[in-house]
Structures are given as structure tokens and as C-alpha cells.
Amino acid sequence: MEPFAAGRDGGRHTHGLDGQLSGLAECLEGGVLIMSFGGGRLQWPITSDLAALRAHVHAFGLRAGLGRQRAQDLVIVANEAATNVLDHGGGSGTLTALSDPAGVRLEVTDSSGTLSQAQLTPELARHPRRGVGLWLIRQLCDEVRLEIASGSARLHLYLRHRAPETV
């Protein structure tokens, strides 16, 4: 696999092995994308521009080797987690995506730390109008873990290349 970075103009820049590059970094209008031979990393601020976040997460997922459906799952999970930060948390945070050979890990940090373990575990209401985001995250992710430290909350989400099997 060759390392690559999306350019500011949306183009794709590839670099062969002869470039002796272990990773590349390219600024993407406020976020950073770093891809290397062994995996990649995307860090993006959580702001009201969720469309940009979704576009970058989708591109990252595809480049990390997720299939089309799993890349869509990744986008849904990232959007729901970011929306929770904006609507119920401190109003800002950071999304970090990390790829490895088995899948993609998302770390969503909320500076206010208001998310609790209890909010991750409730069942879906019979006819919900709102509040399905965390339930949906649990359905689409292979792993969901919450870490609270120093007044901030970090939601760790993992999606393997294959979707979880349903019973």
C-alpha cells in the first residue's frame, strides 16, 4: 500500500516506496490527515460544519480499506458522536480516526465531559423522536468504550472491516 494524502485541491498525491517516506501530513482546511504504510490518522475539530467532518471521515474510511457499507457506518457513527458533542456536551471537541489492518478506531473528545456510561446503555424507546444516536452507535460499532478524565469525556469507537454479525 502506498502512502497518500488528499491535497487541498481534492487531488490525490501518491508517493512510491522510493520516496523513503514513512508518513505524510497535509492540512485539510482545519484538520490533519496523516497516512502511512501501516495505517493512518485523521484529526478534525468538531464544529457546526458536520458536512465537512462527514466527507473527511468517509474518505478516510475508504482509504483505510473499509468497504462502501462500513465506510457509511463509520460516517453515521462519527456524525452521531459529533452531534452529541455539539447538542449535549461542551459544544466543541475533536474527532480522531486511526486505522489499523483490522479496521478504524474513532476517538471523540468532548471538552465538557458530560457523557456518562449510563447514557451509553439505555435501550431504544418504542417510538423515539430523538435520542437514537448513542443507540445507533452501539449497533454499528464492534467496540464502544467511554473514558472520563480531567473534566473531558473521550468516546472510543471501533469498526472492523466487516460489520458485526446479527443474531
The confidence score (pLDDT) of residue 166 equals 58
CA geometry: angle 113, 114, 120, nearest 5 deg: 110
Give the model confidence (pLDDT) of 19-67 as tens digits.
Answer: 222 333 333 445 555 544 446 888 999 999 999 999 999 999 999 999 9
Task: Note whether residue 6 is domain-resident.
Answer: no
12 domain residue, yes or no = no
Residue 141 CB neighbours (<10 A)? 23
Between 12 and 78, whose confidence is greater?
Answer: 78
φ, ψ dihedrals at 29, nearest 5°: 45, 55
Beta bridge partners of 24: 35
Answer yes or no: is 102 within a domain. yes
Collapsed DSSP state (helix, strand, coil) of residue 16: coil
Q: What is the pLDDT of residue 163?
A: 66
Kindly state whether residue 165 falls inside one of the protein's structural domains: no
Per-residue pLDDT at 133: 83
Question: Is residue 81 a part of any domain in this protein?
Answer: yes
Indicate which CATH number applies to the domain containing 49: 3.30.565.10
Digit-coded pLDDT (tens) for 42-55: 899 999 999 999 99
**CA distances in angstroms from 58 to 16, 29, 113, 114, listed in the order given:** 24, 16, 26, 27
Domain range spanning residue 52?
22-160
Residue 114 lies in a domain: yes
116-165 pLDDT, tens digit per residue, is 666 666 565 555 566 678 888 999 999 999 898 888 889 999 999 986 56
Q: What is the pLDDT of residues 60-118, one digit of tens each?
A: 999 999 999 999 999 999 999 999 899 888 888 999 999 999 999 999 998 887 776 66
Residue 97 lies in a domain: yes
Helix and strand element counts for the chain (H, E): 4, 9
Number of domains in the chain: 1
Residue 1 belongs to a domain = no
State the pLDDT at residue 120: 65
